Amino acid sequence: MVDMDEKKFSEEIRRLMKAKHKNIVRFLGYCSDTQGEMVDCEGKLVLADVRQRLLCFEYLPKGSLDKHITGRMMSHVFGSIIHFI
């Protein structure tokens, strides 16, 4: 049976694959790896699945979008503050 996290992850991958727009960073693919690891559970060693996932998106040569947004928003905010002072 597929757990809920796996189902949500698969749904998100499907949505990312469908997203096609000039203003959206292109989704290229993903990697998923699950390995067993011995962990302590209530004093007993049990084998637990440790899952790691990696999403791969198009490279942005001019820096990350959050830096551009933050830079613009902060200059707008500071410009407004200075204007009001």
Q: Which amino acid is at 10?
A: S
pLDDT digits (tens, 9 = 90+) for 26-84: 999 999 899 999 999 999 999 999 889 999 998 878 777 777 677 655 555 555 555 45
- Residue 78 counted as domain residue: no
Query: Does any domain span residue 32?
Result: yes
Query: Is position 74 within any domain?
Result: no
Confidence of residue 1 (pLDDT cuts 50, 70, 90): very low
Is 80 among the domain residues?
no
Give me the pLDDT at residue 66, please. 73
Instruction: Tell whether 73 is covered by a domain.
Output: no
Where do runs of H (alpha helix) occur along the chain?
A: 4-18, 65-84
Q: Assess if residue 75 is contained within a domain.
A: no
For residue 35, give every residue at least 6 positions away whose Cβ sits within 8 Å of its Cβ, in sequence order, or none: 49, 50
- What local confidence, expressed as pLDDT, does residue 40 receive? 93
Q: Is residue 51 part of a domain?
A: yes
Q: How many distinct structural domains can be found in the chain? A: 1
The pLDDT assigned to 43 comes to 94
Range of the domain at 20: 4-60
Is residue 42 a part of any domain in this protein? yes
